[in-house]
């Protein structure tokens, strides 16, 4: 499964946020595997459509799509030198498909800051510098090797040129993703700063609604997305029932829990979307990549569905809700039979027909 690695300096609130992410009881019941690895949190992707479908079909259970987060041990200055924690850190982060960087903005004299002061911009710089140095080390070895391979006609010149271009961006102190670098030619190098980034600012309650402050932080990380949350508040919210949670959030002036925003942003950043299946047993969201065809989507349920794919009966969520039932949707011509070239749309409600 695709995972998002959580990184950040020590004491910025990573563990607090990660624990809040993994506190969801509903999920623990539906996905017993969610706790197999202590540093992996499987988080449900909130989707109000599921409840509506479950109502139409009388489903007993609802299974949302999930996003997996990996808690990666704290990064510190010097991590790229690969000593102790550094090596393990780099290995873990290399395996992540996207990176969620947690940055401290909250001020609390009782919580020690590694550099002695709270400064989001210098924290961002510290972490980015470590990641940039790690990538430069990778390229220092790769570029001469690729050069030789090009001479020996074992590698395309374009690959070597991409590596040199990446090196230049990094030497100028920029991450690859911030410059929109196309990493497709040198993906095997596993460059860290080429991964998609999401920034989470762990803020004071007062900053949750401070638009000027948030705009300033967003500018620091553009073109990446920034999310603003209070990790302590999020961990309280995660333990409340829906109504109580809503009330607590309203009392600080926000409507959507920060962790839900994070799950949505993470899902988008990874280039994913969902389609839906429903019946008396369960209503379920299935995760696919944007642009996948109907047979590829069927393969997520079972490889046999992909192999034996005949066609898919598809009703868009909105049409189904408007019609109120599958029978009515069929009668009104809203149920489409799609073949193997059909490209799935987000929120398609699907029933696959296949040979076994």
Burial of 109 (0-12, 13-18, 19+ CB in 10 A): exposed
User: Does residue 272 belong to the site contacting ligand GDP (CB under 6 A)?
Assistant: no
In angstroms, the CA 90 to CA 135 distance is 10
To ligand GDP, the closest distance from the beta carbon of 151 in angstroms equals: 47
Instruction: Output the smallest distance, CB 230 to ligand GDP, in A.
Output: 4
Which of residues 111 and 222 has its CB atom nearest to ligand GDP in the complex?
111
The answer to whether 8 contacts ligand GDP (rule: CB under 6 A) is: yes
Q: Using CB under 6 A, pick the residue from 162, 231, 263, 270 that binds ligand GDP.
A: 231
**Site for ligand GDP, residues 298 to 327, rule: CB under 6 A:** none
The span of 13-21, 39-47, 147-155, 181-189 binding ligand GDP (CB under 6 A) equals 13-21
Q: Does 92 bind ligand GDP (CB under 6 A)?
A: no
Q: Determine which residue in the list 230, 274, 287, 293 makes contact with ligand GDP, applying CB under 6 A.
A: 230
Please state, as a whole number, how many other Cβ atoms lie within 10 Å of the Cβ of residue 200: 26
Q: Which parts of 186-225 interact with ligand GDP (CB under 6 A)? A: 202
Is 12 labeled as ligand-binding? Answer: yes
Q: Contact letters (x/-) for ligand GDP, 22-61, by CB under 6 A?
A: ----------------------------------------
**Residue 206 assigned to a binding site:** no
**3-state class (DSSP) for residue 133:** helix
Query: DSSP letter string over 224-289?
Result: SEEEEE-HHHHHHHTTS-HHHHHHHHHHTT-SS-HHHHHHHHHHHHTTEEEEEEE-SSEEEEEEEE
Which of 2, 11, 126, 289 forms a contact with ligand GDP (CB under 6 A)?
Answer: 11
Rg (CA), the chain: 23
Say whether 193 counts as a known binding-site residue.
Answer: no
User: For the purposes of burial, counting CB atoms within 10 Å of the CB of 303, is it exposed (0-12), middle (13-18) or buried (19 or more)?
Assistant: exposed
Q: How many CB atoms lie within 10 A of CB 222?
A: 11
Q: CB within 8 A of 308, min separation 6: which ones?
A: 354, 355, 356
Residue 16 labeled ligand binder: yes
Applying CB under 6 A, the residues found at the interface with ligand GDP are: 8, 10-16, 74, 106, 108, 111, 202, 230-232
Q: Residue ranges for the binding site for ATP? A: 11-16
Q: Residue ranges for the binding site? A: 11-16
């Amino acid at each position: 499964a695709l995972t998002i690695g959580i990184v950040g300096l020590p004491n910025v609130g990573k563990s607090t946020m990660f624990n809040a992410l993994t506190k969801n009881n509903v999920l623990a019941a539906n996905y017993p595997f969610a706790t197999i690895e202590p540093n992996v949190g499987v988080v449900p992707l909130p989707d109000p459509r599921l409840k509506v479908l479950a109502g139409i079909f009388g489903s007993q259970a609802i299974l949302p799509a999930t996003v997996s987060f990996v808690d990666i041990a704290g990064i510190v200055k010097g991590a790229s030198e690969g000593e102790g924690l550094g090596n393990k850190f780099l290995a873990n982060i290399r395996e992540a498909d996207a990176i969620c960087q947690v940055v401290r903005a909250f001020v609390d004299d009782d919580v020690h800051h590694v550099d002695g002061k709270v400064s989001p911009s210098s924290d961002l710089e510290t972490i980015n510098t470590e990641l940039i140095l790690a990538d430069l080390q990778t390229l220092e070895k790769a570029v001469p090797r690729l050069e030789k391979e090009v001479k020996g006609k074992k590698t395309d010149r374009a690959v070597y040129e991409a590596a040199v271009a990446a090196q230049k961006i990094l030497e100028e102190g920029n991450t690859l993703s911030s410059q929109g670098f196309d990493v497709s030619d040198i993906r095997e190098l596993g460059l860290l700063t080429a991964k998609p980034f999401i920034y989470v600012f762990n803020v004071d309650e007062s900053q949750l609604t401070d638009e000027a402050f948030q705009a300033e932080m967003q500018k620091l990380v553009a073109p990446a997305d920034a999310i603003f949350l209070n990790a302590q508040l999020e961990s309280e919210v995660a333990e409340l029932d829906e109504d109580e949670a809503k009330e607590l959030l309203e009392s600080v002036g926000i409507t959507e829990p920060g962790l839900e925003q994070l799950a949505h942003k993470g899902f988008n950043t990874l280039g994913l979307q969902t389609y839906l299946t429903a019946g008396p047993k369960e209503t379920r969201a299935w995760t696919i990549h944007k642009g996948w065809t109907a047979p590829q989507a069927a393969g997520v349920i079972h490889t046999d569905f992909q192999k034996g794919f005949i066609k898919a009966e598809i009703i868009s969520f909105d049409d189904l809700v408007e019609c109120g039932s599958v029978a009515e949707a069929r009668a009104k011509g809203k149920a489409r039979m799609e073949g193997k070239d059909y490209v799935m749309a987000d929120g398609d409600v699907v029933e696959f027909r296949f040979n076994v």
